[in-house]
Amino acid sequence: MKSIYRVTRHWLIGLIFLIMGFSCHANSYPSEPLVMIVPYAAGGSADVLGRDIAVELSKIMGQSVIVDLKPGAGGNIGAEYVAKTAKPDGYTFLFASVSLATSPSLSKINFNPQTDLTAVAGVASVPSLLLVSSNSPYKTLKDLVTATKASKEQASFGSSGNNTGSHLVGELFKSAAGIDMVHVPYKGSGAVYPDLIAGRITILFDVMGSSYPQVKGGQVRALAITSKSRSKLLPDVPTIAESGYPGFEFGTWFGFFVPSKTPLDVRKKLEVAILEAIKTNSVQERLQTIGATPLPGPGPEFEKWYESDVARWAKMVKEGKLQQLD
């Protein structure tokens, strides 16, 4: 009996110290710089928005937040790094986008976003503009679709890479419009513009953050927007839904994730800080300039929203609206 008592007592003491260790870790977190993994190319919307949030997050957490770009495979290289390599201690976290929801059903990946990662906070969803060169003969979406169906020449659409938002919305539009266009992937949307402006690429879907300045610059024309309703920034640009494709809607969303084994109280500290950073004037101004709409912010709510988005894309693949990418 005494030996059983000793074992039980030692086990309880060990458990108490373990709990105290987690508590002390959470209380001291963060005690060193943090790293925000952005799995997309420099200069894109994720990079720009992520850096704005990182600046405010640094002030709130009292530690530097370093933005580390790990682009490639439509965001999956950076996501896999956080899921499989990063320590689950809250010091390395992922600024993810829509590919984290599409990859489980569209791509061959070496990690499971739904079990290897945990949602921390949702930020926003950003619509895209359907763009053509200002020298293009197409003035409306109907012009584009009619000409593409009738033309013997193959139409094309550029994107910022396979499985990125600009690729996915292009595939969705092809399916909705019943047209065929060749997909031409680039390393970031910025690389597409010279070919779009010159007419070597027929169209480009690009998020408002980077496409709006291009439209204002006059070298490209916006035929439609992918949001549910028109944007206050470009009130004369119709939605795809109102241009003959009811129900069509697409947004490139952004949110934060950590490795799934990250302690709950550490996740909560990071969540609270991120939500506070999003509410700052500088981040809100950025979100307004890119036509963003908010997502469910707190971790549990954003997790449910994310799971529903994963299911939505899986359903589209099952229904044949999208094909697996690789």
pLDDT recorded at residue 326:
60
Question: What token pair was written down for 289?
Answer: 């300039």
Q: Please enumerate in sequence order all residues whose Cβ is within 8 A of that of 183, keeping only pairs 6 or more positions apart, or say none.
A: 156, 157, 159, 167, 170, 171
Do the domains 32-126+253-318 and 128-243 sit in the same CATH topology, yes or no?
yes
Q: How many CB atoms lie within 10 A of CB 146?
A: 13
DSSP code of residue 154: P
Q: Which among 146, 166, 165 has a CA at the least distance from the CA of 157?
A: 166
Homologous superfamily of domain range 32-126+253-318? Bordetella uptake gene, domain 1 (3.40.190.150)
Q: Which among 166, 74, 151 has a CA at the least distance from the CA of 113?
A: 74
Regions of the chain short of the pLDDT cut 70? 1-26, 325-326
pLDDT recorded at residue 324:
77
Cα separation, 23 vs 309, whole angstroms: 34
pLDDT recorded at residue 6:
52
Helix (H) or strand (E) holding 283: helix 281-289
Q: How many CB atoms lie within 10 A of CB 267?
A: 24
Q: Which among 48, 39, 313 has a CA at the least distance from the CA of 207?
A: 48
Strand-strand pairing, 92-97 and 252-259: antiparallel
Query: For the chain, how are helix, strand and coil distributed in percent, rounded to 5?
Result: 50, 20, 30
Q: What CATH number has the domain spanning 128-243?
A: 3.40.190.10
**Exposed (0-12), middle (13-18) or buried (19+): which is 124, by Cβ within 10 Å?**
buried
Question: What token pair was written down for 290?
Answer: 């890119």
What is the pTM for the complete model shown?
0.85
Annotated domain spans of the chain: 32-126+253-318, 128-243
Residue 66 CA from chain centroid, whole number: 19
pLDDT recorded at residue 52:
97
**Exposed (0-12), middle (13-18) or buried (19+): which is 78, by Cβ within 10 Å?**
buried
Q: Which among 40, 20, 296, 5 has a CA at the least distance from the CA of 187?
A: 40
pLDDT tens digits for range 247-295: 999 999 999 999 999 999 999 999 999 999 999 999 999 999 888 999 9
Question: What token pair was written down for 96?
Answer: 């993810």
